[in-house]
Amino acid sequence: MNHWLMKSEPDAFSIDDLKRKKREAWDGVRNYQARNFMRDGMRPGDKVFFYHSNCAVPGIVGIAEVASDAYPDPSQFDPESKYFDPGSSRDKPRWMLVDVKFVKKLKRTISLDEMKNDPALAEMPLLRKGNRLSVMPVDAAHWKYILALE
């Protein structure tokens, strides 16, 4: 089993939205490296830190689980979607997604500032200077350590 971190802006889709819906397609990823993580690395059953970004207190707010293998993101084919990609075709889809399902909301937000100030997390990809990926791996040691912070 692998561990991941997936970012979402809470105004667009929050941990509470996932809790209410129970399962959701993680659409709109338009970065090749993030897409490759979903397409090539994620498998059903993998655990995910749900991270709120671009908000007053960015940080890990919950846990989700990968609920499907990767499949083509239908929004890339929809001319009305903000994620439409005219260069993508149904024969050769450019963008993939996975479904995620709600596991739990954390008792508290593990904030980005808290993680940045913790030497045990210094090598975590999220905290690397210039990293703006919305989907990234989390190694098992960091996963376990962060869970203990809750």
CATH of the domain at 142: 3.10.590.10
Q: Taking the mean position of all CA atoms in its chain, how far away is CA 10? A: 12
Closest CA to 63 of 132, 1, 131, 12: 1
pLDDT digits 0-9 by tens, 27-41? 999 999 999 999 999
Instruction: Flag whether pLDDT at 131 surpasses 90.
Output: no
pLDDT digits 0-9 by tens, 39-57? 999 999 999 999 999 999 9
Average pLDDT rounded to a whole number, residues 101-126? 97
Residue 103 structural domain = 3-149
Return d(Cα 140, Cα 107) in angstroms, integer.
Answer: 21
Q: Taking the mean position of all CA atoms in its chain, how far away is CA 40? A: 15
What is the number of structural domains in the chain?
Answer: 1
Closest CA to 146 of 56, 133, 125: 125
Residue 150: the pLDDT is 86
Instruction: Flag whether pLDDT at 6 surpasses 90.
Output: yes
Instruction: Flag whether pLDDT at 130 surpasses 90.
Output: no
Average pLDDT, the chain: 96
Q: Which two tokens stand for residue 132?
A: 């703006």
Residue 132: the pLDDT is 86
